[in-house]
């Protein structure tokens, strides 16, 4: 099985030496998306603004890999403050409206932003 690394120019670039996504077989592995712009500047503002930016980056990376968030089978959500859990749940439902994936949500010591989200997508070759 060959693997292919994905570069998503419409999403924030990685903050370190890793790929935004890797396609391996029928699966797409998305690295943690954060609320950064394509120039790596942070989206300042409310939790909702940071969450929307994060989910948008995740979706843009999925699209660059030939997939979409509709193909998500597993999502990991990392919150700096668990008080944002209820709001995150509401926003999550907007991005994963039909057949939601399994999810793990953890509190994390995120460096200067409120949320990070990674995912595994199932996208069988046709």
Q: In which domain, by residue range, is 79 found?
A: 3-122
Q: How many domains does the chain have?
A: 1
Q: What is the CATH number of the domain that holds 91?
A: 3.30.1330.40
Q: pLDDT tens digits for 3-44?
A: 999 999 999 999 999 999 999 999 999 999 999 999 999 999
Burial 30-60 (b: 16+ CB within 10 A, else e): bbbbbbbeeeeeebeeebeebbbbbbbbbbb
Strand ranges for 1-126 from DSSP E? 3-6, 21-24, 27-33, 72-79, 102-107, 115-122
Q: Please state, for a pLDDT cut of 90, what percent of the chain lies above it.
A: 94
pTM (2 d.p.): 0.95
């Amino acid at each position: 099985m060959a693997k292919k690394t994905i570069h998503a120019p419409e999403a924030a670039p990685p903050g370190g030496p890793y790929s935004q996504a890797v396609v391996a077989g029928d699966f797409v592995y998305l690295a943690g998306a954060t609320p950064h712009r394509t120039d790596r500047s942070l989206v300042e503002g409310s939790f909702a603004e940071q969450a929307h930016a994060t989910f948008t980056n995740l979706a843009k990376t999925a699209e660059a890999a030939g997939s979409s968030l509709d193909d998500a089978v597993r999502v990991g959500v990392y919150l700096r403050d668990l008080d944002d859990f209820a709001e995150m749940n509401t926003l999550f439902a907007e991005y994963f409206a039909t057949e939601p994936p399994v999810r793990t949500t953890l509190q994390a010591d995120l460096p200067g932003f409120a949320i990070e989200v990674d995912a595994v997508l199932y996208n069988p070759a046709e």
